[in-house]
Amino acid sequence: GEEGIDAGGVTREYFQLLSAQLFDVNSGMWSNRFGDDSRMTWFNSDCIWDDDGYFLVGVLVGLALYNSVLLDVHFPQAVYRKLLGLPLGLEDMVDEEVKSGLQHLLDYSDDDVEDVFCLTFDVAWTDLGEEKRKELKPGGIDTPVTSDNKEEYVILYVKWLLVDSIYPQYEAFERGFMRVMENSSLDLLRPQDLELLVVGTPELDFNALMSNTQYEGGYDSESAVVRNFWKFVEETSHETRLNLLKFATGSSKAPIGGLGELSFKIQKSGPDSDQLPSSHTCFNTLLLPDYGENYNKLAVRLGRAVIECEGFGLQ
């Protein structure tokens, strides 16, 4: 019943209010397996509701895109790749813990995979307290994962998690999205382009982040390595800032309210050494060795750490 002269603001407010309800983690439509601090939006494969809600979300995203209204939604790249009909691989995995485990399996070079990992071609999960299992291929529960077939296992596992396990939920979402966008030129876009059109380039105010940062382990805002860190942030590229934020917090997006609302910490992780910086993304904590006054060393080590945190993909 509230009236307003719409120069775009009322429309944006409408979309934001509606999206806040539809993307509410408490609705049961979205997975919360990534922890309370996760800003990731992913389909809940165990949702007990019908698929109309997902269809409505798809329509909402399509209408927002059509009307050039940005949404505060944190879909992983996998969703945009699926909407564009692109193949998915290990690099698109949503669950970083599972992704890391599968990567470790692929990297393991000894011949005792079966004895060390004790895996078979099936997956297990809990739904409302009930243990469930699903074979990744016929006879999978009796087929051990070995050094010869581990690549097949990873491919099937990724397909199950990103495609098969959420098929009804995602299919309804895509159907709603395409109801609005089916005659558009989506095939001309890359996943990152589509994401940019949906959520925009987030306003990342690193000065606000710096003002709200806490220091632990003996550091304070005047520590030489801390001053050099913020100098690096100021002088580096926007892309590197995004990657640095992802490296330290697990997400390249700011929380609602901006980076000033992020509880970010820089913690000393030992004396000067050749060790690379690391992070505890669950606690938004950057672990930074004391490189002292050596700015070049910090820049090289931090830049390398940010680059090497990127995942590897299956073709």
Q: Which helix (H) or strand (E) holds 267?
A: strand 265-268
pTM of the model: 0.62
Residue of 306, 285, 281 whose CA lies nearest to 34: 281
Query: Which pLDDT value is given to residue 32?
Result: 62
Under 8 Å between Cβ of 102 and 90: yes
Angle between helices 9-22 and 52-66 (to 10 degrees): 160
Residue 36 has pLDDT above 90, yes or no: no
For the chain, percent of residues with pLDDT exceeding 90: 56
Residue 83 has pLDDT above 80, yes or no: yes
- Does domain 91-162 bear CATH number 3.40.50.720? no
Highest mean pLDDT among 59-68, 196-205, 226-235: 226-235
Give the model's confidence band at 278: pLDDT under 50 very low, under 70 low, under 90 confident, else very high: very high
Residue 234 has pLDDT above 70, yes or no: yes
Average pLDDT, the chain: 86
- Does domain 206-308 bear CATH number 3.30.2410.10? yes
Query: Which pLDDT value is given to residue 315?
Result: 29
Highest mean pLDDT among 60-69, 190-199, 288-297: 288-297
The residues that bridge with 267 in the sheet, in sequence order, are 216, 287
**DSSP secondary structure, 75-136, as one string:** --HHHHHHHTT----GGG-S-HHHHHHHHHHHH--SS-HHHHH--BSEEEEEETTEEEEEES
Residue 165 has pLDDT above 50, yes or no: yes
Higher pLDDT among residues 188 and 71, named by residue: 188
250-267 per-position pLDDT tens digit: 767 666 567 887 889 999
Tell me the CATH number of domain 9-88+165-199, given options 1.10.600.10, 3.90.1750.10, 3.40.50.2000, 3.30.365.10: 3.90.1750.10
Q: Where are the domains of the chain?
A: 9-88+165-199, 91-162, 206-308
Catalytic residues: 282
Query: Which pLDDT value is given to residue 136?
Result: 97
Query: Which pLDDT value is given to residue 214?
Result: 97
The arrangement of strands across the sheet holding 285-288 comes to 214-216, 265-268, 285-288, 278-280
106-118 per-position pLDDT tens digit: 999 999 999 999 9
Residue of 145, 157, 139, 147 whose CA lies nearest to 120: 145
Give per-residue burial for 93-110: e unless 16+ CB within 10 Å, then b. bbbeebbebbbebeeeee
Query: Which pLDDT value is given to residue 12?
Result: 60
Encoding tokens for residue 231?
């100098």
Any idea how long the chain is?
315
